[in-house]
Amino acid sequence: MFETTLVGNQPKIFDDPARPNLRLARNRFDKKALSAEELEEVTRATIQATIADQIDAGLDRVTDGRIRWDDPVTPFAAAHDGFAIGGLIRYFDNNVYYRRPTIDGPVRFVRSAVAEDFRLARRMTDRPLLASVCGPYSLAKFCTDQNSSDGALLTDCARLVRGELEALAAAGADWVQLDEPFLGRTPSEIHRAVETIAAATRNVGVKTFVYIYFTNIAPIIDRLWDLPVDAIGADCATAPGNFEALLHGPRHRGRGLGIVDARTTRLETTERLTATLDRLIAAGAADWPSCFITPSAGLEFLPHKNAMAKMRRLCESVRQVTGAVAVG
């Protein structure tokens, strides 16, 4: 009934000095004290360690932790035509920054930014994997003023993301998450946003899961159910109303519920989480085609120790209500 997974990044560094030290490796690479091959070796070891952590915590479906991603947009801006990497800007309401890409030409798919890493992660574990891409609407918004809306750019971004989804399907992915943090920030654009996402996902050959974080989706939820995707998910910590909005949706639609707050070290109690899960069961979650139970956002906002505690608590709580045995 419930499938536990992550919806974004994982901390790239560990507390244990015996584990891979990607931060040090990147510093040494920048100073030309480490070769590209040596950096790649540390990066792969970090991805392996991240997957091991998720399995240890008991997640049903794991991710590569987005270890190569500095943010949700620049990996795609770097891999495809039409983008130039610009100045630093804060990543929503977080003390985290990214370099906002600008559009400097026609946006065109060149080669997948993520398919090769999916194959790498596939070789590292037999556990089901959740791949992820930046959603087409947010890809356009990340690159421009969030209040602007350029129809041609949205069309091009949809085509680009469709290319990524097809590449992931060819690489063997069964589920792909599309990050759409800008969805809901401009409710008046929801029609255009839905069209853009639909152009990327309709009949694309892989199951798609649109995930929205840091914002309130209640005003747009009715339109989201129209999307040709297999699941809609949202951050239920930042906007508690999102939980209710997802709870009361159509029975035949899959969901993802970010019920553990990824942006605070305060650890949820098992009692609180199991009560939340009981509400999902009472609402008929067993009949939904899928129900991902996740943190509210990527766990890289937390130190590694706290991220692990959140993952473990999430999995323990699900096991408690379903009676499942730990598989980690």
Partner 1 sequence: MLETTSVGSFPKPDYLVKARADLQKGTLSRPELVRLEEQATREWIRFQEDIGIDILVHGEMERGDMAAFFAERLDGYGISGLVRSYGNRYYRKPIIESTLVRPRPLTVEWHRWVQSLTSRPVKGMLTGPYTMCDWSFDEHYGSRREAVLALAAIVRDEARDLEAAGARYIQIDEPAISTRPDEIDLAIEAMAVVTDGLAATTISHICYGDFATIYPHILSLPVDVLDLEFANSQFANLEIFRRPKFTKIVALGVVDVHSHVIETKDQIKQGIRRALDVFDPELMWIDPDCGLKTRTPQQAKDKMKVMVEAVREIKQEMNLN
Residues that bind partner 1 in the complex, under the rule CB under 8 A = 11-13, 15, 23, 26-27, 30, 70-71, 87-90, 92-98, 145-147, 264-266, 300-306
Q: Please, what is the minimum distance in Å from the beta carbon of residue 13 to partner 1?
A: 6
Q: Which is nearer to partner 1, 23 or 111 (CB)?
A: 23
Q: How far is the CB of 65 from partner 1 (least distance, A)?
A: 12
Choice between 229 and 299, CB closer to partner 1: 299
Calculate the alpha carbon distances from 236 to 83, 88, 134, 151, 239 in Å. Answer: 32, 28, 20, 30, 5
In whole angstroms, what separates CA 15 from the centre of its chain?
24
Torsion of the alpha carbons at 217, 235, 84 and 80, rounded to the nearest 10: -100
Q: Which is nearer to partner 1, 15 or 222 (CB)?
A: 15
Q: How far is the CB of 267 from partner 1 (least distance, A)?
A: 9
Complex with partner 1: residue 13 or 45, whichever CB lies closer: 13
Minimum distance from residue 255 beta carbon to partner 1 (Å): 27
Q: Between 56 and 174, name the residue whose CB sits nearer to partner 1.
A: 56
Q: Which helix (H) or strand (E) holds 287?
A: none
Query: Which helix H or strand E contains 85, and what residues bound it?
Result: strand 81-90
CB of 90 to partner 1, least distance (A): 5
Residues 6+ apart with CB under 8 A from 157: 107, 136, 137, 139, 140, 196
DSSP-based helix, strand, coil % in the chain, nearest 5: 45, 20, 40
Residue 233 has what DSSP assignment? E
Of residues 70 and 166, the one with the C-beta less far from partner 1? 70
∠ CA 102-105-108 to the nearest 5 degrees? Answer: 100
Buried b (16+ CB within 10 A) or exposed e, 231-249: bbbbbbbbbeebbebbbeb
Min CB(43)–partner 1 separation in Å: 12
